[in-house]
Amino acid sequence: MEEAPAVHDEREWRFVRTLLPADLDESARHLAALVRCRNVPDATALLRLALAYAVSDLSLKDVAAWASALQVADITGPGLFYRLREAERWLAHVLAQTLQAEVRPGPVGLRLRVVDATVITGPGATGTDWRAHVVIDPATGQFRSVELTDHHGGEGYARHACGPGDVVLGDCAYATARGMYAVHAAGAAVVARVNAQALRVCGPDRRVRALRESEADVPPTGALEIPVHIPVPPGPARTRTKAWPLSKAVAWLPARMIGARTRTGQVIWIVTTLPADQVSALQILALYRLRWQIELLFKRLKSLLHLDTLPTRQGPTARSWMLARFLAAALAQRLVDPAGPLSPWGYELRADLGT
């Protein structure tokens, strides 16, 4: 992640504008971000104001003064506050348009996506204020979509759109029966680490199977593969009890449970819905290691763009600030074409997969 593109220099801004969607004025009117152009001449100026506020760490009053001095807009601090408050939906729309890109084909013709969420907190926070749910392309380490929620918005596969040919990699929080079934129903496949205590697993006979009983069979090197069926529970989680009879499962998801040992000898379990004749157990383990790319992305966002320095916790402009800062990151990654792969995919993983 390079430094965010400058919005203060006129020459640089003219170039940055070429990276943005062409229909800014139309979308701003449609989404009620700029119903009247009083004080702000057009949507391009409004977006420049939002980016200046998000990446410069100036106050609203200072950004308004800068805009007036450069004749970007004739606006006051309170006026800019109102404009940003009304621009949430539009900024989310512009961010989604900027991130639109085909995910590159991965090993054995798969389109890999990594999903995870990071916490964003404001000053004086004692818990989670916001979550950013992100999808990245592990070939480049670049993010492809972002959804912001408050602390009530939990992580889950069902939150992210996917389609046939996609393989979605996730951590333990994503290995739920309902989430994996949503991905499967969309024609995509899952690779996720399993919390053996949180996911009910059955054998081909549809009887509950405890993964802990198979840990002794996991070899020191290599992998142990177990065919399983995962029952999809009835009703939403908030309305059902933790224990429910298997006879009430709304669907059964065929999957493969792959066990391997870490360097310290601890057993980890990876679940996948990819067929064995397409991707082997060792290849699944190699694919899962790519999930680390999203952790590196979060580190870049927080260290270079200071995404974790939210100026206000729950203020009316908090969401607009985060969306504008993510938009700055999206523009920055469009400015940079990596000289080589950012993940092992480009080197030893290709050899591992025989591609």
The predicted-structure confidence for 114-141, as pLDDT tens digits, reads as follows 999 998 887 766 667 889 999 998 877 8
pLDDT reading at 339 higher than 50:
no
Residue 177 makes CB contacts below 8 A (sequence gap 6+) with 199, 200, 230, 231, 232, 233, 253
Q: What is the mean pLDDT of residues 43-48?
A: 94
pLDDT 10s digits, 208-235? 988 988 999 999 999 999 999 999 998 7
pLDDT score recorded for residue 5 = 55
Q: In this predicted structure, which of 10-14, 162-166, 193-197 has the lowest mean pLDDT?
A: 10-14
Taking residues 75-94, report their average pLDDT.
94
Work out how many domains the chain is built from and give that number: 2
d(CA 168, CA 174): 10
- Of 76, 77, 44, the closest CA to residue 59 belongs to 77
Nearest-angstrom CA–CA distance, 117 and 4: 21
The pLDDT, as a whole number, for residue 351 is 41
Q: How does pLDDT run across 254-287, given as a tens digit for each residue?
A: 999 999 999 999 999 999 999 999 899 999 999 8
CATH number, domain at 177?
3.90.350.10
Q: Are residues 184 and 282 in the same domain?
A: yes
Considering only CA atoms, which of 48, 133, 130 is closest in space to residue 94? 48
In a domain, 120, yes or no: yes
Whether residues 156 and 56 share a domain: the answer is no
pLDDT at 30 over 70: yes
Task: Assign 243 a pLDDT band (cuts: 50, 70, 90).
Answer: confident
With respect to residue 5, please indicate whether it lies within any of the assigned structural domains: no
| pLDDT confidence tier of residue 344, bands split at 50, 70 and 90 | very low
Q: Could you tell me if residue 218 is inside a domain?
A: yes
Say whether both 160 and 273 belong to one domain: yes
Residue pair 210/190 in contact (Cβ under 8 Å)? The answer is: no
> For 87-144, where are the alpha helices, taking DSSP H only?
88-99
Residues 25 and 52 reside in one and the same domain? yes
- In this model, does residue 236 exceed pLDDT 90? no
My answer on whether 251 and 118 are in the same domain is: yes
Q: From the CB of residue 151, how many other CB atoms can be counted at a distance below 10 Å?
A: 13
Q: Is residue 252 part of a domain?
A: yes
**What's the mean pLDDT in 1-5?**
49
Contact 33, 46 (CB under 8 A): yes
Q: Which residue has the higher pLDDT, 92 or 318?
A: 92
- C-alpha to C-alpha distance for 147 and 113, rounded to whole angstroms: 15
Given this model, what pLDDT does residue 24 score?
94
Q: Classify residue 103 by burial, with Cβ atoms within 10 Å: 0-12, 13-18, 19+.
A: buried
Query: What's the whole-number average pLDDT of the chain?
Result: 85
Query: Looking at the structure, do residues 94 and 206 belong to the same domain, yes or no?
Result: no
Residue of 21, 22, 65, 74 lying closest to 45 (CA atoms): 74
In a domain, 309, yes or no: no
Predicted structure pTM score: 0.83
Q: Tell whether 280 and 333 lie within a shared domain.
A: no
39 with 175, same domain: the answer is: no
What's the rounded Cα separation, in Å, for the pair 49 and 37?
14
How much is the pLDDT for 326?
Answer: 93
Of the pLDDT bands very low, low, confident and very high (cuts 50, 70, 90), residue 313 is low
- Domain span including residue 59: 10-100+315-344
Same structural domain, 204 and 276: yes
Rounded CA-CA distance 207/322 in Å is 47
Residue 71 falls inside a structural domain: yes
Looking only at the bridges linking them, the beta strands covering 224-232 and 189-193 are unpaired
